[in-house]
Structure 1
């Protein structure tokens, strides 16, 4: 059993287990592997070509908490509609949210639009190359700033994502658990960044973690750093990185109100700009809290209007980063056009034009199916 903080499965390392008997990982070896095995990705330039900072930034924002396979079509659609950062800055936020729908973490879409505007207003439509200046832009954190600086401007920056953390923890057999080990892993990674081709090196690390040094069943025999890997030598590779035990996600509950009018339209409303799913459209719902039900929602006046609400069978379930959500869907009808009710009336056929997040698309499917998937 590995005890977090030990340097080996049996406790403190001996002098032979310290890594002194292993060669140091060489960036040149990783770059040679990358030149032969680099992934072809929609946002990646051909070998030797200069990367477009707009493409790098857009892809990195989209890739946060999202898979490469999912991001590809979104990235291509965004570029087709808004070929430059100035084009993106010029459109309404609603248009961005509509194109973003399905990618989740909608604060990223709001920050994406705000950042595009800031790049245009502060920097004349050109992304700065300096990490500090990049960090000053909306929605750009330490990782994204380093990734842009390295990949787009070939600066020797240290971009730490989950792939890089996993590679470093295995190469150096770091058994301190995440997230506490992040500073140590970043220091180890920073010491390896080469002066030449730091952009390619950064992408090589991403590819290594995504294709060979994978979370499960790493393919160590194909790794260009196999001989230097202490985790492999010590039989720990597949167990690293260790992670501190996460608290169980709580469950919140709420009620979604599916209201139709005499024209067959459905009531939607926009969520507040701040907070979860800010600025997105929704089927009106109560607060999402433990124990919420229809009586609770009515008591607090969450229902959009007073009608005969009928509960649909079953529950709509969705999981966010920090909690599970269970929504009861209730259905009501107005015999008029509903102009006195606050919100936006929309025909179901036009839902695709609305910036509906995934959880609300589930509610729509549930309501239209009468409580069935």
Structure 2
């Protein structure tokens, strides 16, 4: 009996997963480096927080332009360029002497490098898959959690035993290795391997390579987006998602734990453990987004996340058992919002526009993350505590739970177009 061979789309998913994993590991590094940098250079927390805010802001703002560049030049070319930027930015950080260099290297260069991959999951899912798109987005989104799961404990241990520069050299080397893998094995379209998309047939043709100016394409996408109420609802809810995840917890969880007497390596392990449960939660969320109403999924995700953030100050002040409960509960919900958001974006704006539109929605996510990264540091400077920041984030999540129920209420039913090259 003849068995079906593995569709190359799943190999593309694996390559994208590891590329995003490396990027996520790099983005999670500042949480480990914040206290050592403050101690070595005598910086206030607002200095490091500002660099991270610049990083997160550019990570999001470059997303729609990255999608346009992928449409123009290809996924492999743009992702390879991203890994080179990440390798250069992280390596040069080890040579810095002043705050402006931190802003330039970790803020601008690493921020743009990360931003080049922000829409990779949506681009891979829409180009390579007709069936299982939600599952693919869930798997690729889970790479962020896997990245922090793998990197954070190792980086924390290296920072403690060898210093922060050794930890930074390590992630630079890993970026170079990933660049080589992408250069050899990544492909832009199923037709590059003589295939139809997974779950599709030969008569389903691909979105043609866009020959227009990538910057103009991204700006045109924004012009279309700002006239849509659904875009503002998606962007507004995703602003809260960024504020309440990588901007707040990803940046400030480890420093908050250290202030409550938890050693840095243990705190990093706790943040990595959030990643274990996020892998489960986000993958299941992708599976659910193929089967259930995505607005209701988002309603529950934001509502439950809000409850967990309101509980966090109490968990930090009490026995560690309560903190472990937060890790499990919050971890399952860490970025479970991404698959339903990508699915709604594709359904409302169309497959051919999904990458750029999600890029702009993701930009809102990272603006929220930048607000939390800097705002958390600023509120800590004012009150010498993270209490008010955690409570504020919980309230924002409840507001987002209400917003998402209005998404798609006025949109016309979407019928996917067949575009002939």
Relative contact order, higher structure (CA 8 A, sep 6+): 2
Same fold (TM over 0.5): no
Q: Is the strand fraction higher in 1 or 2?
A: 1
Q: State which structure, 1 or 2, has the greater radius of gyration over its C-alpha atoms.
A: 1
TM range (shorter): under 0.3
- Report the TM-score when normalising by structure 1: 0.25
